[in-house]
Amino acid sequence: MLMEFNVKVLNQKYCVALDDKDELQHLKGEFVLPNSIVYLGGNALGARPKSSNALTQQFIAHEWDEKLTHHLNTDDHHTELPRDLGNKIAQLIGAENDEVMVADSTALNLFKTLTAALKIQTKEHPEANVIIAERDALPTDIHIIQSFIEFHQQLYTLEFIEDEYDLEQHLATGKVAVVILSQVHHCTGRLKEISTINELIHQHSALVIWDLCQSVGIYPIQLNQSQADFAIGCTYKYLNGGPGAPAFLWVNAKYLKTFWDPLNAWNNHKNPLDLLDFYEPFTGQKRYMSAHQPIISMRLIECGLNIFAKTNLESIRHKSLQLTDLFIELMEQECGDFDFELITPREHQVRGGHLSYNHPFAYEICQALSVRGVIADYRETDIIRFAFSPLYIRFIDVWNTVQQIKSVMQNVEWQIKPYHVAHTVQY
């Protein structure tokens, strides 16, 4: 960035100038964010859209009552929400209408897609019984895979890869049924190129489930074009859907008829109210969810998605790279003497939306920063994670953050006693 703009030293004025030119600057006003803080935790929990307040009030005051009086025995628009919201998310992940459902949690959706993938593979490739995951995947993904294996009485084996370069060696055994990968790594922020990975996996007759939690809403994803099989992701991170908001799942249309939800219930049944003693799945994508969903929380997801409708992911990605470039360069210029080691790749092709730094006092620095109004995220071990959501982070916020880090380090604030309390890490 320095070279590009022919600036010798990055300064505050330069950051203000970047904000002035920023096409997304007006979107910050869509969010509730105190002026006194810089919020860099958008990949853990997105900021609150202003519209959420009125929508919740409206829902409670009108829709609930209306449902009592009008909707019980007629078409229920609430049951269409998982699909309607899914169609909006489809536009962010390179999917078509009627391929995405918003329902349940990411963890549950992993279990569901794993069930579906292995049911397909048991028919097509009964000899394949290995599930591949990344050793340093978010632990919840690993727990789900292990509980799946436990549930199937050890019929499958979990094998770990260190990174995607290990994949080929495992696939070559011909025993791999399913591979589960995160597009952007939760810790390192490394971005994977999904097309070539999908191709490699398919060459060996395996299927792939992509975890998009750290990439949806920050990077233009092309699921259909890349010929992925399944994908899952959160709505409460970059999509700003609200704490605990339901997740989404995408299933390649070619598996619509073979997808099998492990929890057979009425919502994924062909005729929900039939008193039958056998189960027959729904013919459409409603078979991806078994029961009613939390409607108020679903409605809040809409507030976040409506903001995305005002821009596009190419502009978001462009600003995301500008923000992270600026942070990297400012950290070198202002904090070069303080032992921060960037563990996120610098190359744009493999960089996601957040940056992670290693530092021996990462936890204490994070605490000291939060007292100064900079909210960053601590990760085991000794990692500080900074997420730059382009919808509400400004270039001046990047400048201010680096200045705060510099002050913490110069004043040795991380040595202050209370910051040495036991680590409690939030995800």
Ligand X SMILES: *Cc1c(COP(=O)(O)O)cnc(C)c1O
Positions that interact with ligand X (CB under 6 A)? 105-107, 138, 140-141, 182, 186, 211, 213-214, 234, 247
Assess whether the previous peptide bond of 381 is cis (omega < 30° from 0): yes
- Taking the least distance from each CB to ligand X, the nearer of 39 and 419 is 39
Asked if 43 and 386 count as a contact pair (C-beta separation under 8 A), the reply is: no
Neighbours of 245 (CB within 10 A): 26
β-pairing verdict for 100-102 and 248-251: antiparallel
- Taking the least distance from each CB to ligand X, the nearer of 111 and 357 is 111
- Taking the least distance from each CB to ligand X, the nearer of 41 and 325 is 41
Residue 392 tokens read as 């509400």
- Taking the least distance from each CB to ligand X, the nearer of 138 and 391 is 138
CA nearest 412: which of 373, 370, 361? 361
Q: For ligand X, which residue has the nearest CB?
A: 213
CA nearest 163: which of 187, 141, 181? 181
Distance CA 246, CA 86 (A): 11
Residue 139 per-residue DSSP state:
H
**Angle, helix 139-151 to helix 106-124, in steps of 10 degrees:** 50
Shortest distance in whole angstroms from residue 407 CB to ligand X: 30
Distance CA 122, CA 178 (A): 11
- Amino acid letter, 409: M
Query: HSE of 233 in the Cβ direction (CA atoms, 13 Å)?
Result: 33
Shortest distance in whole angstroms from residue 364 CB to ligand X: 24
- Taking the least distance from each CB to ligand X, the nearer of 17 and 107 is 107
Question: Phi/psi of residue 205, each to 5°?
Answer: 60, 25
- Taking the least distance from each CB to ligand X, the nearer of 232 and 365 is 232
Shortest distance in whole angstroms from residue 188 CB to ligand X: 12
Partners of 179 in the β-ladder: 132, 208
Q: Which class for 329: exposed (0-12), middle (13-18), buried (19 or more C-beta within 10 A)?
A: middle
Shortest distance in whole angstroms from residue 99 CB to ligand X: 20
- Taking the least distance from each CB to ligand X, the nearer of 186 and 269 is 186
- Taking the least distance from each CB to ligand X, the nearer of 7 and 107 is 107
- Taking the least distance from each CB to ligand X, the nearer of 107 and 342 is 107
Shortest distance in whole angstroms from residue 263 CB to ligand X: 15
Shortest distance in whole angstroms from residue 94 CB to ligand X: 19
Distance CA 261, CA 248 (A): 14
Shortest distance in whole angstroms from residue 317 CB to ligand X: 18
Shortest distance in whole angstroms from residue 212 CB to ligand X: 8
Shortest distance in whole angstroms from residue 241 CB to ligand X: 11
Helices (H), 11-62: 12-21, 51-58
Residue 273 tokens read as 């109210």
Shortest distance in whole angstroms from residue 131 CB to ligand X: 16
- Taking the least distance from each CB to ligand X, the nearer of 43 and 129 is 43
Residue 210 tokens read as 């992509």
- Taking the least distance from each CB to ligand X, the nearer of 1 and 107 is 107
Distance CA 27, CA 147 (A): 41
Shortest distance in whole angstroms from residue 44 CB to ligand X: 7
Run of H or E residues at 110: helix 106-124
Residue 318 tokens read as 């462009």
Question: Phi/psi of residue 115, each to 5°?
Answer: -60, -50
Reduced to 3 states (helix: H, G, I; strand: E, B; else coil), residue 258 is: coil
